[in-house]
Amino acid sequence: MKGVAGFSGERLTQAREARGHTKKSLSDSVEISTTALADLENGKHLPREDTLARFVEVLAFPRGFFVRPAPKLSVGPVFWRKQAAEALRSQSRTEQRIRWAAEAFSVLEEMVSFGPLNLPDRSWLPHHWSAISDEQIERLAEQCRDEWGLGMHPIPDMTLALENIGIPVLCFDIESTKQYGYTDWIPEIGRPIVGVNSFECSWARQRFNLAHEFGHVLMHVKSASPAELRSPAIYKQIEDQAHRFAGALLFPRDAFVKEVGYVNLETFSALKQERGISIMAQITRAKQLGLCTADWAQGLFQQASKRGFRRPFGEPFDNAHELERPRMLRRAIDAIEDGSELLLSRLDASLQLPRTEAVALFGRSLSPSKANVFQLRPGR
């Protein structure tokens, strides 16, 4: 029996990793050897039609996904908020979704105009991230706020702020308490993709995670080497810089010093509602700006832990706001559908993603919405 013409081993790898399968678990599920599966993924052999049908059933991907060539996209190195073992197990799943988002952006860009990437000028910063000082991080955050016309005011929507300067934002649920956010620069689309994990994530944490990832975009994606990202000690320094930037972006120092009358949990709880930044992050900010000693901050952290603030949705007002939702890709798809359902069908045919994956990535499926579907009356 001949193998399936046009079969893409790379697509099989993508689907397997997106579903969280190891080669062993998938080969057992479709009743082939791990060696045979490896040969299929590496392009050494083509599957029989019945084997492909089992892949379609087990992985819940349409057949068309496996017989379309995967575009060449340079995904990685990805900046992850956590390098813990638990997070590592979910990272390959997320990397595939980053890849599909980049692929979708590339296809969408042929149909709609996203506008240019508009990052602030950083030519005044040191060339290498390790030479960037805390003062320069504060200035960089203030520069962003000035260019966005915010002054000292709160950022109403951190997700929209990034999308407005041309950065696609992803927000989907990955069942890992260690994977918070991620950033990757995709050369083929000429811009980064940033994202956050919505699993057990509050509104304030989501905003901080996005600001943190934006810090990586501005300071690290073009400067930090893959070897540096693999070093735990160096990676911690990179993360500390992004933390500092996130705090400065969400709550600039002049406003923080002015608005924090008393350095205590009650003050930070009240300010959280207005500023959209967690109590724990504000404790760190107070220590950074010299409003309290390290010992005082440690005492506040201990008080917060006793009150359960470190648990998911444990802080006051964690349930008071819904998560911010990305709009950029969804609105592009809405515009395509409004203009031509044929273009929407072309997009769907180009990506061949399961409905669940499309909804996770874009906030909607690639099928026509009910508003644009005409119901025909039955004949009399």
pLDDT, tens digit, 9 for 90 and up, residues 15-63: 999 999 999 999 999 999 999 999 999 999 999 999 999 999 999 999 9
Note whether 84 and 178 are same-domain residues: yes
Nearest C-alpha neighbor of 18 from the set 123, 124, 100: 100
Domain that holds residue 59: 9-66
Q: Do residue 44 and residue 188 come from a single domain? A: no
- Whether 243 and 96 share a structural domain: yes
Residues 38 and 180 in one domain: no
Structure-token pair, residue 326: 């990305």
Per the CB < 8 A criterion, the answer to whether 214 and 102 are in contact is no
Query: Token digits for 45?
Result: 């052999």
118 in the same domain as 40: no
Domain boundary among 66, 91, 114: 66
Residues 205 and 88 in one domain: yes
User: d(Cα 18, Cα 14) in Å, to the nearest integer?
Assistant: 6
Q: Is there a contact between 92 and 194 (Cβ–Cβ < 8 Å)?
A: no
Claim to verify: residue 24 and residue 153 sit in the same structural domain: no
Q: Are 142 and 124 in contact (CB under 8 A)?
A: no
Rounded Cα distance, 213 and 172, in Å: 15
30 with 156, same domain? no
What's the structural domain count of the chain? Answer: 2
For residues 140 and 178, membership in a common domain is answered with yes
Give the domain-ending residue among 191, 218, 250: 250
Which residues of the chain register pLDDT less than 70?
1, 76-77, 81-89, 370-380
Q: If 0-12 CB within 10 Å is exposed, 13-18 middle and 19+ buried, where does residue 311 land?
A: exposed
Could you read off the pLDDT of 336-365 as tens digits, one per residue?
Answer: 999 888 899 999 999 999 999 999 999 999
